[in-house]
Structure formats: C-alpha cells, structure tokens
Amino acid sequence: MLKEYKIILASGSPRRQQFFKDFDINFEIRLKEVDEIYPEHLKAEAITNYLAELKAQAFEGELASNEILITSDTLVWHNDKALGKPKDYDDAFQILKSLSNATHKVITSVCFKTNTTTETIFEVTKVTFTELSDDQIRYYLDHYQPFDKAGAYGIQEWIGLIGISSIDGSYTNVVGLPTEKVYKHLTLMVADNL
C-alpha cells in the first residue's frame, strides 16, 4: 500500500531509523537543524506536539505530492516538568536519581506532513524504576553514556534490564517511537488517499 508514496524520516535517531527499516518500507532520511525551543506555558504532550510540528514546518513548500514527511519528539515528563537530553554527566546523574523509585511518563509525538496536510499523534507510556543505587547509576553512565537520550536512559540498555520494574503502555514508545500507532496512521493516511 505504501509503495506509491515516498516516506521521509526527518530524524537522526539511530533507534527511529532502525524501526523504519524494521517496518520493511522504503524511506529516506532528510535532516534539518531546528532550534527545539517551545513556549514555557506548554506541558507534557503539548510540548512534544509543538516540537514535532516545528520540525515538520522546516520542510514547508518542499514536499512533492507523493511524499509523506515524518518528524517526532520524545520527552520524559516527571514531577510536572520535562526532562530532555542531559546537559552533561552530572545532569544525567541527577535525572536518573530523580527517576529512581518513582514512576514517570515517556511522551512521543509524531507529525505526518504532506504537501497539503499536517497531522500529529502522540503516545504516553508510564515507566516505573526500582530504587537505583548511586553505584548503579554511575556504572550505567560510565559504560553506556546515554547523553543523547531523553531522561538520560535507554530502556533497551542495561539500566532497563536491572532497573525498570513495570511499564504501562507501548514499549517501543519508550525506545523512541510508538511503532504500532505510527504504522497504523501511515496506512490509514494512504488508504484515505491522504
């Protein structure tokens, strides 16, 4: 069904790129630098929706009629604030310390843009960490260096194996993309002729 369309993924994330390879659909990667700044009054999925759409706007006027652009943004929402990618080692340590023995939300928004429409979906997954010792956090940071990840962790890595006690919702969303929802939306768009 998707053969008639050219899927463009505007993401440098190796995890998102791998998901698209695993979908077994042809896609190309197109990247643009975007300042990921959002209005301070926004909260939770309003932030990720805004940023996913901001990334899509960078391609305004550039899409052919058979192209579907996909942009996305993920954040960790905890104690009523957004936790993005850590600034440095100490910031990553503090983020993981705050997630220890607590439940947080991982929110991903995905924007689908064509030359005539823009649609955005989002997914929320609740993740609960057991109590993490300082030594466990340091081991993880030293060996995995998760500084390119929202919330300073990758669920598919060591910390996820030893530290996550429960997950309520989409696992792939926590990795970086709610794959079931994205695939479903893509096929619906194509079925409806966009």
Catalytic residues: 73
Could you tell me which residues come within 8 angstroms of residue 4 by beta carbon, excluding any fewer than 6 positions away? 66, 190
Which residue in 72, 183, 179, 175 sits closest to 127, CA to CA? 175
Residue with tokens 């990795």: 175
Alpha-carbon gap, residue 74 to 3, rounded angstroms: 28
Where would I find the H helices in the chain? Answer: 14-22, 45-57, 89-99, 134-144, 158-163, 171-175, 179-191
- Phi, psi (rounded to 5 degrees) for 172: -65, -25
CA gap 106, 20 in Å, rounded: 20
Nearest to 120 by CA among 167, 67, 66, 73: 73
State both tokens at 40.
């301070």
Cα R_g (the chain), whole angstroms: 17
